[in-house]
């Protein structure tokens, strides 16, 4: 998980230097397959991010919440953190 978070952090830094990249990433929200489009643009920018990586980060975060101290959450969440939307919101 640290690898993908590092790649996302570097991509975020890239968007600060390249406003056109930022706009292309934000435009993926209206794509037919937003996460795939996001990953393609990220790869073009030199960041190795796959759709599976994005899902895995959210799932791992959710799983860790269920394993936290004091017993954590007894039941799994209905969903998990959407790292794609969280990243775009940070832009």
Model pLDDT for residues 23-43, shown as the tens digit of each residue: 999 999 999 999 999 999 999
The total of other beta-carbon atoms located within 10 Å of residue 18's CB is 12
Q: Which domain holds residue 65?
A: 2-90
The two tokens of residue 17 are 């230097």
With cut-offs at 50, 70 and 90, classify the pLDDT of residue 61: low
Total domains present in the chain: 1
CB of 24 closer than 8 Å to CB of 38: no
> What pLDDT shows up at residue 65?
63
Q: Is 55 helix (H, G, I), strand (E, B) or coil?
A: helix
């Amino acid at each position: 998980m640290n690898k993908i978070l590092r790649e996302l952090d570097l991509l975020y830094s890239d968007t600060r230097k390249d406003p056109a990249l930022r706009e292309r990433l934000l435009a993926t929200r209206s794509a037919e397959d937003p996460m795939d489009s996001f990953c393609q643009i990220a790869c073009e920018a030199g960041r190795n991010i796959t759709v599976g990586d994005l899902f895995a980060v959210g799932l791992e975060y959710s799983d860790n919440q269920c394993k936290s101290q004091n017993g954590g959450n007894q039941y799994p969440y209905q969903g998990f953190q959407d790292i794609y939307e969280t990243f775009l919101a940070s832009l």
